[in-house]
């Protein structure tokens, strides 16, 4: 009986010690459904595949150039050609930190082509903190590729 009690105490102490030991360090911080940095392609490569297949689903890596300053509900990633890729989050299910401009991210989700109304473009410009003059220059709807992310990894 004494032997059984010692074994139970030892197992209990071991379980507590294991539960309190730090988890292995994660490579980056994940949001939404999360993702890894394996099997990624660049935004440029995505656009080439998107054009050839009329759709794209997978992982894209890029540098953040802008984040919604209201609540982090969208961000823009550099395409590498002076343009940006609008990134939204599936079902408005998560937000990004507002201070990640310049950081590299891995996006896991799908690319779609959307027509963005003048009203929506102005809304995005306001969220980004653009001045009134810049906002008033928006006069026409535009088509753009948008990425709907299920998960994001900030590296």
> Average pLDDT of each block of 10 consecutive residues along the chain (155 residues)?
49 42 55 91 86 81 92 91 90 91 95 86 83 87 89 93
CA geometry: angle 88, 96, 152, nearest 5 deg: 70
CA separation for the pair 18, 26 (Å, rounded): 18
Question: In the chain, where does DSSP find H-type helix?
Answer: 2-20, 43-53, 118-127, 132-136
> What is the reported pLDDT for 150?
95
Q: How far is CA 96 from CA 1, 43, 128, in A?
A: 56, 19, 14
pLDDT at 55: 80
> What integer pLDDT is reported at residue 100 of this predicted model?
94
Position 81 scores a pLDDT of 87
User: Any idea what DSSP says for residue 90?
Assistant: G
Contact 148, 90 (CB under 8 A): yes
Kindly list the structural domains of the chain, giving each domain's residue range(s) and its CATH number in brackets, ordered by start.
Answer: 26-154 (2.40.50)
CA distances from 116 to 57, 80, 123, 130 (A): 21, 22, 11, 17
The reported pLDDT for the residue numbered 52 is 65
């Amino acid at each position: 009986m004494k032997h059984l009690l010692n074994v139970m105490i030892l197992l209990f102490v071991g379980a507590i010690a294991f539960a309190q030991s730090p988890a292995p360090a994660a490579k980056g911080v994940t949001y939404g459904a999360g993702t890894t940095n394996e099997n990624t392609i660049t935004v440029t490569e995505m656009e080439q595949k998107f054009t050839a297949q009329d759709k794209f689903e997978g992982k894209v890596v890029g540098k953040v150039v802008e984040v919604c300053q209201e609540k982090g509900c969208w961000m823009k990633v550099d395409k590498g050609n002076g343009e940006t890729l609008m990134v939204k989050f599936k079902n408005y299910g998560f937000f990004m930190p507002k201070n990640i401009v310049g950081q590299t991210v891995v996006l896991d989700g799908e690319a779609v082509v959307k027509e963005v109304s003048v009203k929506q473009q102005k809304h995005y410009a306001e969220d980004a903190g653009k001045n009134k003059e810049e906002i008033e220059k928006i006069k026409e709807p535009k088509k753009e590729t948008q990425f709907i992310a299920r998960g994001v990894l900030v590296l």
